[in-house]
Amino acid sequence: MPTVEVTDLKDGDFLLDVREDDEWQAGHAEGALHIPISDFVARYGELTEAAPQDGRVHVICRSGGRSAQVTMYLVQQGLDAVNVGGGMQVWAAAGRPVVTDDGRPGQVV
């Protein structure tokens, strides 16, 4: 399973958040694309439209389990996708910003 650490991510890297709506609303990485794992196959086209051509998709969830499943699926589809180890919990612990939709500070639930 291709995996990267939160500390390996750079500003501007394409981030796909696969957590559910309530988790996203509590707080997320600014600029991430949100497609919940429960809707992922039906909304796959949104990812292919938003993802950079020939770019890497960094997949994140709360702790790394759901994002690992989506990463495996994307790799099988031929995309350059990697799982973000430790997910949003490690993201927040590393001091990376977590925001709500209106830009206020958020939290990982």
Judge whether 39 and 19 are in contact, CB under 8 Å: no
Would you state the pLDDT for residue 97? 96
In sign, the C-alpha dihedral spanning 64, 55, 14, 5 is positive
Would you state the pLDDT for residue 1? 86
Would you state the pLDDT for residue 29? 97
Catalytic residue among 61, 82, 84, 90: 61
Would you state the pLDDT for residue 54? 87
Stretches where the chain sits below pLDDT 70 are none
Residue 61 a catalytic site member? yes
